[in-house]
Amino acid sequence: MALERILPRYDASERHAIVVRADAARTYAALRTLDLADLPLTRVLMAVRALPDRVLGRRGLPLRRHVTLDGLLGAGFALLAEEPGREIVLGIAGRFWRVTGGGMRVSAADFAAFSTPGTAKAAMDFRLEPLAGGRTRLSTETRILCADDAARRSFGRYWLAVRAGSGLIRREILARVKRAAER
């Protein structure tokens, strides 16, 4: 599991899973082509999150057009690992609790060592596990590691406010991938 190698130690995590009645290759294709802009709840929650950036004239995640996982890479995420059909891991760093997002570009090569005081880093994976009968268990896990105690306190308050919405986004993604793969 690449996520375990990339972020074995963490301060917070969230996991979700769903069983898809399609093989891993088909499920992975549905994941890679998923358009986040088509997910109503995700679109609303991301728009609320991006509102301060919009007010300040900053460019945030473009949810008005087609946004796949590759689109997230253009919005500050780094591709940390990928084994097509089995797992993909994305990462981002910053001060997530700030009103303006506080995202920082961190390359995949620099992600492991990143520990700027007052920041956190997050890694999110999607794993596919083949099951009997041509089915696939699709899961996602997000792990967050804070660089220091000050970041942990700030992130802890933020996580209390956004954890439920974060989980809803992940579940909406899994459900939409399932629906697309089973078509």
- Half-sphere exposure (CA, 13 Å, Cβ side) for 155? 25
Sorted by sequence, the CB contacts under 8 Å of residue 27 that are 6+ apart come out as 20, 128, 136, 138, 177, 178, 181
Residues 68-98 pLDDT 10s: 788 787 778 899 999 999 999 999 999 988 8
Closest CA to 75 of 42, 50, 39: 50
| Beta carbons of 69 and 173 less than 8 angstroms apart | no
Summarize pLDDT for 32-63 with one digit per residue, the tens. 999 887 887 766 766 655 655 545 455 554 44
- 108 three-class SS: helix
Give domain 2-182's CATH architecture.
2-Layer Sandwich (3.30)
Asked if 26 and 163 count as a contact pair (C-beta separation under 8 A), the reply is no
